[in-house]
Amino acid sequence: MKKQAVIHHYEETIQFVRSLEPMSEQYWRTPIAAGKWTIAEIVAHFIPWDVFVQSKRLPYFHSSEPLPPGPQAAQVNHEAADWARITPVSSIVNEFVEGRDKLIASIDSISEADWQTPFQIGETNLTIARYFENLAAHDRHHMVQITDLLDSLDDTTSDSSI
C-alpha cells in the first residue's frame, strides 16, 4: 500500500466518523450485534491504538532500538469501551479526529524510500507499508460493521413507519 493511499484512508476514516456525529444518541449507543460493542465503543477503541502507533511504533521504525512491547489488547479495548460509555459523542469524535490528524502528519513525514523499510514485531517481519495496510484493514472491518448496523436500523425504521 502506498503512503498516499494510507493517508487517504485515514482522511476517509475521519470523514466517516464525522458523518456519524449527527446521528441520534440511541444509534451511537446501539450494539452492532447482541453482546458486541456499540458504535461509540468501536470509534473510541481506535483512539488509544492511534496513540500507541504514534508514540510506540512510528518513532522506532527507523531506530536501531527494538520496538517496545505492545499493550494487552483486551485491556486497552476494555478501557476504551468503558470510557465510551460515559463520554459524550462529540468528545469521542473530537479525540478520534485529533489523533488521526496527528497520525496523518506523522505518516506524511515518512519518506517514500523509508516506506518499504523492514522491521520486526516479535517473529513477524513487516515493512512500514504492510504495517499500515494491516491497520487500514482493521479500520475497514469496523467501518463495515457500523455501516451494516446503520443500514439495518434504517431498514427497521422504514418498515415500522409503513
Per residue in 15-46, pLDDT tens? Answer: 999 999 999 999 999 999 999 999 999 999 99
Per residue in 5-19, pLDDT tens? Answer: 999 999 999 999 999
CB 3 within 8 A of CB 11: no
Domain total of the chain: 1
CB 80 within 8 A of CB 31: no
Asked whether the predicted pLDDT for residue 159 surpasses 50, the reply is no
Which helix (H) or strand (E) segment is 118 a member of? strand 118-121
Indicate whether 83 belongs to any domain. yes
Q: What is the mean pLDDT of residues 38-66?
A: 92
pLDDT at 155: 65
Indicate whether 160 belongs to any domain. no
At 156, the pLDDT band (50, 70, 90 cuts) reads: low
pLDDT at 29: 95
- Top-confidence range, 1-5, 83-87, 122-126: 83-87
Indicate whether 107 belongs to any domain. yes
Residue ranges of alpha helices (H) inside the chain are 3-20, 25-28, 39-52, 73-86, 89-108, 128-160
pLDDT at 157: 55
At 103, the pLDDT band (50, 70, 90 cuts) reads: very high
Indicate whether 32 belongs to any domain. yes
Asked whether the predicted pLDDT for residue 93 surpasses 70, the reply is yes
What CATH number did the domain enclosing 72 receive?
1.20.120.450
Domain of 139? 3-155
Indicate whether 96 belongs to any domain. yes
Q: Full-prediction pTM beyond 0.95? A: no
Indicate whether 127 belongs to any domain. yes
Q: Which of 46, 39, 45 shows the shortest CA–CA distance to 153?
A: 39
Indicate whether 148 belongs to any domain. yes
